[in-house]
A and B are shown apart, each in its own frame.
Chain A
Amino acid sequence: MKEVFTMWRHTQMVVLVALSAAIYAAVLIPFKGFPLVPGYIELRPANAFPIVFGLLFGPAGAWGAAIGNLIGDFFGTLSLGSLGGFVGNFFLALLPYKMWSVFFRRDENMEENVDSAKKFGVFILLTLLASAVCAVIIAWWVDVLAFFPFVVFFALVFFNNAVMGGVLGPILLLALYPRVKRWGLLWTEIVEPEDASSSRLQRTGAVLVWVGAIGAVVVGLILGLGQQAPGNLGVGLGLIPFLLVILVGSFMLGVREQVESVEESMAAESEESRT
């Protein structure tokens, strides 16, 4: 997670946080008129953005998604529930970029685009994982606050994230990646390798995140369906170990290797163009 904090040193990353937050909020606000459960959650095509932001802008995209969601709430539904939205959206953008390199060998092309069948498959898998983690966090929080039952809210948020991210995400990424790369705004080009966390425990971290996410979904659904009503300490306490496992796993997901790999490929490209 080192880069999540060190990125604030780079002015470009700070600007990317602000711009991604503004874009996310600006696309969220008009769709507040298409509610799934009025007052709680609406159809959100904008939910494709956090995953794309994460892959393009890395930690800046994660902060941008979190702040953007909060600002979206500022325009009508700011409440204690917004805190869960902040953290959930942060993880929705964080996990795709942190987990991406787990699926590739160092000598493989690990550009965060969907221009091959393998990359498309990885994108869909990570969208499902990040959507589930985001939905677990938000649904757990609104259940703890006794606002809404875990099961219903989990299903709505997961559906929103997974469908919008899975359908719109690849289209957006294909259209945007080449432009962002040309402008030199990919996070792997801005963040220095020493600013990123070490990749030593990456595989262990990835396993922990998967275990935590699947465990949280399964246990959350079992406890939620059993207790029916929100606010019961069953879901509130029962999911804490899994949320902690996800958090610890995320801390172990290093991305230095990914940044170094991009640096090497850029150096090779410039060498090629010179010769």
Chain B
Amino acid sequence: MDPSLYLDRDTWVHRLDPRTKMFLLVGMFALPFVFLNPLYELAVLALVLLFGYLAQSLANLRRIWFILLTILIVTTILWSIVGSGRTPLFLFVEQEALLYGFSIALRIVITVIAGIIFLSTTRNEEVGIGLVRLGIPYRFAFAVSTALRLVPTVVATGLTIGQAQRSRGLDLESGNILRRIRNHLPLLVPVFVTTVRSTNVFSMALESKGFGARPRRTYFLRTAMTGRDALIIVGFAALLAGCIALRVAGYGGLEGFSR
């Protein structure tokens, strides 16, 4: 099982500086919050999907299509029930509440897809170095990138322990959801113990290599903001500003919905 989402492709998005990708991620998180009209949200979704297509990272959406679909359905239904509008549609559901629910569902889906594109195009090391370049303390960034790198190792440890326990008769697969969760519990302690046992050796290895010996560090992975990064940042900022101007001018809202 490989939980990593990174896709090793040679696209211009992959080659962007990690800071630029982080800026784009924040921007793509902000963009769907500008509008309330589902048509405008659909346009934002199309834009984000186009970006994902150019980044060749839409393949990862296959891994979470069920989550996205259920977010769309659950959120739309929820808002249709708890919100109210002016135009009756069926039973107690009003048209504006349904549209609003669909809009909020699209908003969540867009932010999740933006996150997937970021993770599909950014390596763990780039996340770490990007955080440092943004002014986050190195030790914090190191902990984040190390944890990201260790997740597959811990998962693999869990699988190995699971196989060992299964060979001794532990049944992990049968029963209902609660039963299956309960079956997995005996794995928690050995996974924890196996992982945490290495703390002292890990710490000594780090310190023997000069971890924290000097305030300024050099990096094997070299990143630099280029003209293309600047162009992308300016372009996206202009797009965001344009969307906000559109909204202020009265476009992209939703009339008749009340909470």
Contact = CB atoms under 8 A, between A and B. Distances in A.
19 contacts: A16-B196, A18-B144, A19-B147, A19-B198, A26-B154, A26-B155, A26-B158, A27-B191, A29-B151, A31-B181, A38-B66, A38-B74, A63-B143, A76-B112, A77-B67, A77-B115, A78-B115, A176-B189, A231-B259
A15 B206 contact: yes
A76 B147 contact: no
A71 B78 CA distance: 28
B150 A18 contact: yes
Interface stretch (A94-102, A145-153, A205-213, A263-271): A145-153
Contact of B147 (A21, A34, A172): A21
Nearest to B71: A39
A12 interface: yes
Interface residues of B, number: 63
A183 B197 contact: yes
A1 interface: no
Interface stretch (B134-142, B223-231, B233-241, B245-253): B134-142
Contacts of A15: 146, 199, 202-203, 206
Interface string A126-159: 0000000000000000000011110000000000
Contact of A26 (B71, B111, B112, B151): B151
Contacts of B68: 39
Contacts of A228: 82, 259
Contacts, number: 184
Contact of B70 (A38, A82, A184, A232): A38
Interface in A65-89: 67-68, 71, 73-82
Given A38-B67, A147-B108, A80 B148 contact: no
Contact of A80 (B111, B199, B200): B111
Query: Most A CB atoms within 10 A — which of B83, B150, B153, B193?
Result: B150
Contact of A71 (B137, B151, B193): B151
What interface size band does chain A fall in? 35 or more
A103 interface: no
Interface string B61-94: 0011011101100110011001100000000000
Interface string A153-168: 0000000000000001
Given A39-B67, A79-B112, A231-B259, A180 B196 contact: yes
A200 to B, nearest CB: 28
B185 A21 contact: no
Contact of A25 (B29, B147, B200): B147
B184 interface: yes
Interface in B126-170: 137, 139-140, 142-144, 146-148, 150-151, 153-155, 158
B3 interface: yes
Contacts of A14: 139, 142-143, 203, 206
A148 B112 CA distance: 15
B177 interface: yes
B259 A74 contact: no
B35 interface: no
A11 B211 contact: yes
Nearest to B97: A229
Interface string B39-66: 0000000000000000000000001101
B18 to A, nearest CB: 14
Contacts of A29: 3, 151, 155
Contacts of A45: 181, 184-185, 188
B5 interface: yes
Nearest to B32: A80
Contacts of B153: 22
Contacts of A146: 104
A25 B71 CA distance: 22
B199 A185 contact: yes
B196 A74 contact: no
B195 A19 contact: yes
Nearest to B83: A229
A68 to B, nearest CB: 7
Nearest to B181: A45
Given A26-B154, A39-B68, A79-B29, A149 B143 contact: no
Interface in B1-51: 3, 5, 29
Nearest to A31: B181
